[in-house]
Structure 1
Amino acid sequence: MLSVGALRAHLLAARLAGRVATSREESLRSYRLFAARDPRVLIGLDPEWAWNQRDLIELMADKCGVSADPRHVEGDDVIDPERTLVALDAFSERIEAAARRRATVLLGTGHPHRLLGFYAALADALSSAGCTVLTPAQGHCVDITTRFGLRTYNLDYVRGVALVREPDAPSSGRATGAHTHSPLPVRVALAAAAEAGGPLPELVIGDHGWVCGAGQLGFEAMGLADTDDPALFVGEAEGVVAVVVPLDDAVRSDYYRPLTRYVLNRACLSQ
């Protein structure tokens, strides 16, 4: 079993926590846009409270360990590995509880190139524990506004994990997909599940719009988020999102494997 000390060392060595690749400038820009309620940064969340940039800096300092000094405006951002570890434990507890009650779950990612393996391992373990892993709306079209204009993507599932692909992307089942923050894919998936008469997920696991979009609709949702994704942490602060694990969400995919082992061990789901 991977010890807490070994995982902490890995988080720092892989730059999943500690000094991360996300820049302070990127994070502050996201906080400004969130304060202005830009939908590109809200990613499906409809905040109940008014949040200005200083509020967001303070929240992210508390949740992630970034600098609380608004005069700190450049350089690499920082994530406190202790906060990552505490959140991973809470994340694992929810996984264990879902497995124990054989919950119906939905997993999706806007970072398929980086995080698909992490979520797929969770999907495999939960399925082996008797959970139903949903795959609603496979092949459905999702129109997403991007910086290049309106683009149509196809919703697909790989090893039980939802992602979106461009229409001309390689055939279904391949572990490639588009990077997106949009909440529209999870809305399409949930609507299709409802229209089919259910079941609906008791837990949604993912990142970006998968978490915020599902949480805003009243589903228990949790996932991973970087320092420039304030929406998930605001959702957690407002009680809309269950658990958010602060870490860099764009390092090499194999760097997340120790996290997978740690979560599955903590959740008593090691294979």
Structure 2
Amino acid sequence: MVAVGALRDHLLRARLAGTVATAREVSLRSYRAFAARDPRVLIGIDPQRPWAPRDLIELMADRCGVSADPRHTSGQDVIDPERTLAALDAFAERLAGVARRRGSVLFGTGHPHRLLGFYAALADALSAAGCAVLTPAQGHRVDILTQFGLRTHNLDYVRGVALIREGGAERPGGAPGAHTHSPLPVRLALAAAAEAGGSLPDLVIGDHGWVCGAGQLGFEAIGLADTDDPALFVGQAEGSVAVVVPLDDGVRAASYRPLARYVLNRACLSQ
């Protein structure tokens, strides 16, 4: 069991919250790109209304605790640990809900090197509770436009968590794959599940395009997001994303283990 005070201390010590590694300049650049509707930053969300950079700064100040001053243009971003803790509690409530009804769950990450272990712990616990952890479109090809051009990837699952690998780069089931913000993998997975006539997820859990892409299609979606990923918070503000936990999504993988223990305990899913 992880106590709230101990977890707050861990968030600050690991720089998951408090002063984080994400630079203010990077976040502001993302807000400008989102306001211009750059699909690389929308990552699957189709905003219902215009969002100016100032609107996004105000939203992120409210949801994350970053500076609300648009004149603050340099230095490191700050995440309020109290907002992170409150969002983790809401995240745990969604886990508990899907576990009670033994629903179907789809996990996916664009940060496999950092967050795979966090999601895998949740997948193990939900599976033990009687939930179906879905793995549609295993091995299917997905072409994603990157800064280096169009790249061919394959959809894979590791411990029930979807990720993408560059075509032929790694054997299935091996080490974590590629970093991506794209919503294309979740669209592929959901389309394959629908075409197969099997279960569709009652809950999608992940980050980046996995959350935004699923939420935009009407699926209940929850996940984690850094201060330079405004799309998830816009989705939450507009009602297409259920829960977003503000934290640094690029620290050491081991630093997320206490968070997994905390939410599983709050959801009464500790094994």
Same fold (TM over 0.5): yes
Deviations 1:72-115 (A, max 9, x none): 00000000000000000000000011111001000000000000
* Partner SS, residue 259 of structure 2: helix
Q: Which residue of 1 aligns with 2:79?
A: 79
Paired position in structure 2 for 1:121: 121
| 2:181 paired with 1:169 | no
Paired positions, count: 271
In the alignment, which residue of structure 2 is the partner of 1:255? 255
Contact 1:112–1:175 (Cα < 8 Å) also in 2? no
**Equivalent residue number for residue 27 of structure 2:** 27
In 2, Cα distance between equivalents of 1:90 and 1:175: 31
* Alpha-carbon distance between aligned partners in 2 of 1:17 and 1:199, rounded to the nearest angstrom: 36
Q: What residue number does 1:90 align with?
A: 90
* CA positional deviation for 1:181: 0.1
Q: Does 1:43 align with 2:43?
A: yes
Q: Deviations over 1:215-252 (max 9, x none)?
A: 00000001000000000000000000000000000000
Q: Which residue of 2 aligns with 1:64?
A: 64
Show the 5 A alignment for 1:171-186: 171-186=171-186
Partner Cα separation in structure 2 for residue 48 and residue 79 of structure 1 = 26
Give yes or no for contact 1:116–1:175 (8 Å, CA) kept in 2: no
Q: Distance in 1 between matches of 2:175 and 2:234?
A: 30
Distance in 1, matches of 2:175 and 2:252, equals 14
Quote the residue 1:145 is aligned against.
145
Which residue of the partner structure matches residue 213 of structure 2?
213
1:111-135 Cα shifts (integer Å, max 9, x gaps): 0000000000000000000000000
Structure 2: distance between partners of 1:259 and 1:81: 12
Q: Which runs of 5+ in 1 are unaligned?
A: none
SS of residue paired to 1:77: strand
Q: 2:163 aligns to what SS in structure 1? A: strand
Q: Following TM superposition, by how much is the alpha carbon of 1:49 offset from its aligned partner in structure 2, in angstroms? A: 1.2
Q: Which runs of 4+ in 1 moved over 4 A?
A: none
Q: Distance in 2 between matches of 1:184 and 1:54?
A: 29
Alpha-carbon distance in structure 1 between the residues aligned to 2:220 and 2:51: 23
Superposed displacement of residue 35, structure 1 = 0.1
CA distance in 1, matches of 2:118, 2:2: 16
2:194 partner amino acid: A
Q: What CA distance in whole angstroms lies between the structure 1 residues aligned with 2:82 and 2:175? A: 31
Percent of paired sites with the same residue = 81
**Structure 2, unaligned runs of 5 or more:** none
Deviation readout 1:6-25 (Å, 9 max, x if unpaired): 00000000000000000000
Distance of 2:249 and 2:241 partners within structure 1: 18
Displacement, 1:188?
0.2
**Offset, 1:175:** 3.0
Amino acid in the other structure paired with 1:123: A
Task: Give the C-alpha shift of residue 198 in structure 1.
Answer: 2.1
TM-score (structure 1 length as normaliser): 0.99
| Per-residue deviation, 1:170 | 2.0
Rounded to whole Å, the distance in 2 between the matches of 1:116 and 1:15 is 19
**2: CA distance, partners of 1:241 / 1:49:** 16
CA distance in 1, matches of 2:250, 2:7: 18
Q: Is the 8 A contact 1:152 1:166 kept in 2?
A: yes
What CA distance in whole angstroms lies between the structure 1 residues aligned with 2:109 and 2:142?
14
